[in-house]
Structure 1
């Protein structure tokens, strides 16, 4: 099967240029000017923009054990409709992904149900270092450590254990960094003040900027001590942005950072309107924090844009502050949200592609994806920048059925998504006859 995408505005590797892309089976065969006689199917992309598919390095798809919130199938379906062709999923499922067998169980589910390409993190606990060291790094994206904002054995708070992971794990460690003692102290103060009825507006004071900076800075010191390849997820504060360097090429960086769409889109003035729907950990903070994170993204102190897509049911989110879980669905709308910033003149198309496709591929050493290059997998998204649409319950594809972006009108629309050469999404319709693939990584082990 040969598919030709013709007359596209191709956004790739810092350039925007008109051209054609010929796809044969799973791979990009030719980029340039291609005769339509070579193709079995032709997609005329005149006026549209062709980009590498988005690689989201932080999602929570809830399977196994929490499938009332989401499944790998339902959320991967939402992903490809939003132009996300690849995801990396976190270990806080039920049971947590602490063993090689549990890790492979998730890969088996994805191989049968995921419409997007996939990888899964092995999770760190206070007592599974030996098990983690068995990980085949050519087939697993990395190790996730919850250094804050988790419960039970998912919260790794033993200093000796943390040092063991940082000193021994030879590939990328991704971490959620919030200082739990500071958060517990703040929680107690606000509970004494308000009882069980803590206003959601207090969330960024409880999960404070200080808690983020303390944990991030300590973790970076530890990573530097051991030469660890260390990636801090969802940076949410202005102060944390000073911890990162933009003078080193990404290929050579040991310490890297991610920004999430919700920390770029919302600030603490939105709690009054949206309440627990925008309760995330780390918390959405001030407009100054929001602007500083965006600035660090633009000047390359922050390397990657992701979602931390973490759906909960509508009913769960209607609870009081202490009972309402943190997290929300974003993966269907991450690319169009970033493109809205383009329409506002805040970021270029080339920079969006760099942060959402090229850089995740470079950072995680993904094999053959993340770029529009001959011989690479055809993970591609076609976007109409002039086709506005409104987010409504009827077009939200996440299983939870809601979005904090409901009633938002976006100026851009994803029209086609190809995953490993398969046209899985076209003008609102899905072809689920082929599933996504397990990522491979260019690593020694």
Structure 2
């Protein structure tokens, strides 16, 4: 008797860990039950993927959805809507909300807010502070926790961990991999007057210069080596950091963003002004080329969007009073599919960076791979679709993107979360289905 399925996705080119193969995908109870020739098998529902590629849903391990406290920019509902429309099925959300996510009560509050409102699966980082060091080992293992996030620079109040002693203390407190924003805060303070005197967004990579990034990353790697703690360096931007990180593969993993791979100084600042302003900054072509080479060399492990929305009114403030950050969760996959179309990376490498890599590094349970037994988190894409990113397609509450009116090749057609279609042809489908992500490292304790 032929095996029956809840859903069969028929006729697609499927990106499995062994490569892209022509196959059907059978789904039962929200999980992948079979991959192969399933035409004769009965199914309660079928989805035609002819001419499309079936990829693992994107795991975006760096987003800022701004809730609680900053919902005028974004909230968990609108951010997750943008995510699934762009092919993202799991997000890790950052702790610099108001109040910051620094204790069990704040984490529980975010999980309550997400229930019944988020369209994608989710986990929330806990921010390290001088006051919660003694609690970090337990906080990182709570259900729904993505682990610990350290801000070495570019934060305010209690979330800033800028001195070496506090950094080492944080790294000694726990076992899971720690995500780190590495900029050297003392140098940023020393040089801020230069940015204020310039008044021009084009000065941003001069204020937050290469030395600011390299000094912080050097300090971080030294502390990680001393304490034996694994670290994940977020949004790496410089050629010099890539060299340091390539020599520290035993202790450090690397994230880059589509922004730093796509935009380039000084042109982006001349075109977009403060809309191109983010931390660490978009840099010139030398650094952009180094990031692409690091992808080719296998030094980069993950692509994260660093989705960090601000309103256009806020971004219109005079530099440097203008806030840093731009939207990105919805455009991550379209931008990178366009890079695939342009020959800058293979589809297989893109899948590794957006799904296999984050699953491997953060030990996500049942996510990030098209394999039997894994959650049927999938995105169907048309690699040949040529289209223009239009503001009407964007779902973020911020309402804008640095890529508006940019033509790209490659488009998400449908997004599935645990076997349920949640977005199709540019529209949301059904009610929010997002649940807290699970991590193998916490399930073992």
TM-score range (shorter-chain normalised) is over 0.9
The CA distance in 2 between the partners of 1:358 and 1:199, in whole Å, is: 40
- Distance in 2 of aligned mates of 1:119 and 1:291: 32
Counterpart in the other structure of 1:111: 115
Counterpart in the other structure of 1:146 = 151
1:153-168 matches, cutoff 5 A: 153-168=158-173
Q: Whole-Å Cα distance in 1 between the matches of residues 158 and 14 of structure 2?
A: 46
**Mean CA deviation greater in 38-47 or 94-103:** 38-47
Change over 3 Å in CA distance of 1:201–1:14 after alignment to 2 = farther
What is aligned with 1:59? 63
Partner of 1:238: 239
1:259-290 superposed Cα distances (whole Å, 9 cap, x missing partner): 01100011112110011111000011111101
Equivalent residue number for residue 210 of structure 1: 211
Q: Give the alignment of 1:276-287 within 5 angstroms.
A: 276-287=274-285
Q: CA deviation at 1:188?
A: 2.1
Please give the alpha-carbon distance, in whole angstroms, between the structure 2 residues aligned to 1:130 and 1:214. Answer: 27
Alpha-carbon offset, residue 300 of structure 1: 1.2
* Number of matched pairs: 437
Aligned-residue offset at 1:160? 2.4
Name the structure 2 match of 1:325.
323
Among candidates 131, 137, 141, match of residue 141 of structure 2: 137
How many angstroms does 1:239 deviate by? 0.6
Aligned to 2:42: 38
Confirm whether residue 171 of structure 1 aligns to residue 173 of structure 2.
no
Distance 1:279 1:434 in 2: 32
User: Could you report, residue by residue, the CA deviation over 1:153-196 in whole angstroms, capped at 9, with x for unpaired residues?
Assistant: 111124322211112221111110001111222222343x44xx
DSSP 3-state at the match of 1:387: strand
SS in 2 for 1:134: helix
SS in 1 for 2:205: helix
* Distance verdict in 2 for CA 1:14–1:346, change over 3 Å: farther
Question: 350, 367, 370: which one pairs with 1:372?
Answer: 370
C-alpha displacement of 1:246: 7.8
3-state DSSP of counterpart to 1:330: coil
Contact 1:91 1:97 in 2 (8 A): yes
Alpha-carbon distance in structure 1 between the residues aligned to 2:136 and 2:117? 26
Which of 116, 129, 138 is 1:125 aligned to?
A: 129
8 Å contact kept, 1:246–1:299: no
1:188 aligned counterpart, secondary structure? helix
* C-alpha distance in structure 2 between counterparts of 1:70 and 1:376, whole Å: 30
Structure 1 residue matching 2:138: 3-state secondary structure: coil
Deviation for aligned residue 1:243:
1.4
Check whether the contact 1:36–1:42 (CA below 8 A) recurs between aligned residues. no
Report the TM-score, using the length of structure 1 for normalisation: 0.95
The change in CA–CA distance for 1:404 and 1:190 in structure 2 (over 3 A counts) is: closer
1:25 positional shift? 2.5
Q: Residue 396 and residue 380 in structure 1: after superposition, are their counterparts in 2 closer, same or farther (change >3 A)?
A: same
Q: Is the 8 A contact 1:14 1:354 kept in 2?
A: no
Which 5+ residue runs of structure 1 have no aligned equivalent?
none
| Per-residue deviation, 1:429 | 2.7
Kindly indicate whether the alpha-carbon contact (under 8 Å) linking 1:420 and 1:436 is maintained by their aligned counterparts in 2: no
**Unaligned runs of at least 5 residues, structure 2:** none
CA–CA separation in structure 1 for the residues paired with 2:411 and 2:233: 30
* Cα shift at 1:229: 1.1
Q: Is the alpha carbon distance of 1:319 and 1:190 closer, same or farther for their aligned partners in structure 2, counting shifts above 3 Å?
A: closer
1-structure distance, mates of 2:58, 2:396: 17
Equivalent residue runs for 1:215-226 within 5 Å = 215-226=216-227
Alignment partner, residue 264 of structure 1:
261
Q: Which residue of 2 aligns with 1:101?
A: 105
SS at match of 1:35: coil
* Superposed displacement of residue 434, structure 1: 4.5
Match of 1:293 in 2: 291
| Equivalent position to 2:381, from 377, 380, 383 | 383
**1:64-108 deviations in Å (ceiling 9; x for gaps):** 110000011101011001000000000000000011110111011
Q: Describe the SS at the equivalent of 2:384.
A: coil
Q: Report the secondary structure of 1:76's partner residue.
A: helix
Counterpart secondary structure, 1:73: helix
